[in-house]
Structures are given as structure tokens and as C-alpha cells.
Amino acid sequence: MNQLSLEKRCNIVAHLVEGASIRTTCRLCNVSKNTVLKLLVDLWPICQALHDQLVVRLQTKILQCDEIWAFIGCKAKNVPEHLQGTLGVGDVWTWVAIDAATKLVVSWRVGSRDLEDAKAFIADVEHRLTRRVQLTTDGHKPYLEAVAESFGSYVDYAMLIKMFGKKEKTENRKYSPSKCKDILKVRISGHPDKKEISTSFVERQNLNMRMSMRRFTRLTNGFSKKLENHKAAVALHFAYYNFVRIHQTLRVSPAMEAGITDHLWTIEDIVKLLDGPEAG
């Protein structure tokens, strides 16, 4: 089997991380669908290993967490009865934690929106920190037990709870969110600074994900068909976001701002890791 050139692989990855769908990438790069998907899945453990190696021992002070919805194959309401409750079919959630100062994505997890995944996600977040942190989440209840189990009392934790009005049923409001009527800032533990109780940055990261990964775009036929491909796309996105992409307000990458790397990575740097450390 002929191996793609480095230039061709970089070109494929560049299209994927800028929001092109699999089929669009195939057409623009003149490669097959299987070629694109294989490269994507091959990069998954590479991107995860890069994150696990470098995004550790962080001096994060303000942390924000949120979850973003997508679906695999079909939406939950359309899942066949014999497949209901099966992970990898229907709704899937991506948990994200971001450093409010450096904009570094500290951790992510793809799975369900239940207590088990909440515990695994928060445990990974806590493992990457070296100091007491102020944490803000939304009002999702599993966070309460998950944060208490991983951080104990060594955290300044608050929930930001948004109160939404009744959704209008007019045609032009069909896909629009309900209007936010009120926001409650609730202290859970420690002494969180009320001015820093916010989920604005992590919600902006949700938008980045929807713009940068076609499978997250609403009302699209580019949704994920396999959980494996979905997880691979998320891992590639965050490797690119943390290490390669220059943040507009920081003027450096989040990884450089956080001090975990001293230079701006390129897509080529990430792709070369497929050939082993000696290739870099």
C-alpha cells in the first residue's frame, strides 16, 4: 500500500481542522473517504498522547467547564428500540474544561452526560493541576458529586445557573434557543470570587468546536456515523487548538501562553509524530 506524502497528509489535516467535512476534504485533496478516515483515526492516539504528555502540572487559577451535544448516526429520538442505551448510537456529549486566562483546553471527554462520565472527566481535570483553582460549571447536577470526590474541599467552586423562558413555537424560532431570563451564581464550596464566576470562555470554545468540526454543525448531514471517528476528530481539534492555532487575543497559541511549550507548533509537527519521535 502506498503511503501518502507528508505534504498530502498535512493538506488533509488542514482541511479537517478548519471545518471541512470528510467528503469535502476528499474532493479538495483528491483522496478517498477511507484514506481520510484512516488518517484521522491514526492521529487520534497521537493527539491524545501529546495532550497527556504536555498538558500537565498546570498553574491554572480560573477554570470553566461545560458540555456540548452532538449525535452519532441519528438523534436519540430516532434510535431503534434494540439499540437504545447503547453508547455510540444517538446523543453523545463532549465535556470540556478551559483555563480562563490562557484559553488552554485542560481536559475533554467524549461520552454520556451522566455521573460516571462526570467523575472521570473531573478526575482527569484535577490530575492536571498543581494548585488550588476556582472552578465554574453550569447547573448540571453530576458536577456536584464529581467535584466533591476529586477535589474535596481544596477548590473554590461555584455553579452558574441560567434560567430560560418558555420557548416560542413560531416557525422563525424553531431552531433558536430560548431567551435567558436570569442568571444565578451559586457558591458550592470554598470562597469563589463572584466576579470570576462565568462560563463565557468555555461556551465560546463550544462555538469554536461547531465551526471547526463539521460533525458538530447543527442541521447538517456531516454528523458522525461512528463513535471512533467522533472521538478522533475531537482529539485532533484540541491538539490543533492548543498547540497550532494562534489565539486572536493572545497572539500566541494557548499552549505557549500556558508555558507548556516555547514555540508555535505546525500541522506538520503533529503529522510527523505518526512516523515516530525520530521524524520530528
Note whether residue 119 is domain-resident.
yes
Note whether residue 40 is domain-resident.
no
Query: What's the CATH number where 223 sits?
Result: 3.30.420.10
Q: What is the pLDDT of residue 77?
A: 82
Note whether residue 111 is domain-resident.
yes
Q: What is the pLDDT of residues 4-55, one digit of tens each?
A: 999 999 999 999 999 999 999 999 999 999 999 999 999 999 999 999 999 9
Q: What is the pLDDT of residues 121-153, one digit of tens each?
A: 999 999 999 999 999 999 999 999 999 999 999
Q: Bridge-partner residues for 98, per DSSP?
A: 64, 105
Note whether residue 38 is domain-resident.
no
Number of domains present in the structure of the chain: 1
Q: What is the pLDDT of residue 3?
A: 80
Q: Bridge-partner residues for 93, per DSSP?
A: 69, 111
Note whether residue 252 is domain-resident.
no
The set of cell numbers assigned to 122 is: 473531573
Q: What is the pLDDT of residue 276?
A: 76
Range of the domain at 126: 61-243
CB neighbours of residue 245 within 10 Å: 20
Strands of the sheet with 134-137, listed across from one edge: 105-111, 90-99, 62-72, 134-137, 156-164, 180-189
Q: What is the pLDDT of residues 187-238, one digit of tens each?
A: 999 999 999 999 999 999 999 999 999 899 877 778 888 999 999 999 999 9
Note whether residue 28 is domain-resident.
no
